[in-house]
Every structure is written in C-alpha cells, then in structure tokens.
Structure 1
Amino acid sequence: MIFKVFYQETSTETPVREKTQTLYMNANDEVEVRQSLKNEPFHIEYIEGLSDQHLAYEEGQPGFTLWKK
C-alpha cells in the first residue's frame, strides 16, 4: 500500500502548516512507515493510506515520487 506522510523537516521547531512537506512510501502498514522514518530528523504529523483513486490522483501531480531509503 502507498502511504502519504505529512511532516515537518525538523523536529525541533513548532509545526507550522505552511511548512508541511509530504512524501510517499510503499509499506505494509503505518507501523512500517514509522519504523522506516524513525532515524530521519522529521516531525511526522500524519500518515494517510491512499486508496486506488487517491493514488491515481497523486501520481498525476508534479513531484510525485516514492521515498527510497
């Protein structure tokens, strides 16, 4: 399943909506996503599993790439 992760680039600052970034990751579940990103300096705000229709929309957007570690 593809997950959309909303995050702040640093975990030391207060989250600001305008600075929220996103990445897309292929994983079995949300726990696997969190485990994959645990060593990153991110502040994860929200993880959303994408339906097939939502994924098709996101794939059509500029800048869509899957996160590769």
Structure 2
Amino acid sequence: MIFKVTYQEDKISNPKREKTKALYIETESAVEARYLVEQNTPYNIEYVQLLDEKYLAYEQKSPDFKLTEFN
C-alpha cells in the first residue's frame, strides 16, 4: 500500500499550510509509515493518508511524485 505523508520540515516551528510538504512511502500500514518517517527524519508529521487507486493515479501525474525508501 502506498501512503502520502504530509509534514513540516522541523518540529520547532509552528505548522503553516504554505510550508507543508509531502512524501510517498510504500508500507503495510499507516502505523508503519509513520514509524519509518519518525525514525528516519526530523519531520513533524501532520497526516498519513492511504492512497486508493484513483488518488494514486492522480498523484503519480505530479512531477514531484517519488516513492521514498529508508534503509
């Protein structure tokens, strides 16, 4: 399953919609997606969303779409 994770780049600043970014990650659950991002980045996670087929197809049209992998 592919999840869209929206986040702020740091945990210190107040969240602002204009600074919200997104990454895409393939995992088995939203809990695992959140865990991987928390363990591998300093990001302040706002939301983890499962992408259904139609929404995934829409997101894949964006030039910014790229699956993130953590080692």
TM-score interval for Structure 1 and Structure 2 normalised by the shorter chain: over 0.9
Please, what TM-score do these two structures have when normalized by structure 1?
0.95
Q: Distance in 2 between matches of 1:17 and 1:63?
A: 18
- Residue in 2 that maps onto 1:30: 30
Q: Which runs of 4+ in 1 moved over 2 A?
A: none
Identity of matched residues, %:
43
RMSD: 0.7
Which runs of no fewer than 5 residues in structure 1 stay unpaired?
none
- Count of residue pairs the alignment pairs up: 69
Q: Distance in 2 between matches of 1:21 and 1:4?
A: 10
1:56 aligns with 2:34: no
Q: Distance in 2 between matches of 1:36 and 1:27?
A: 9
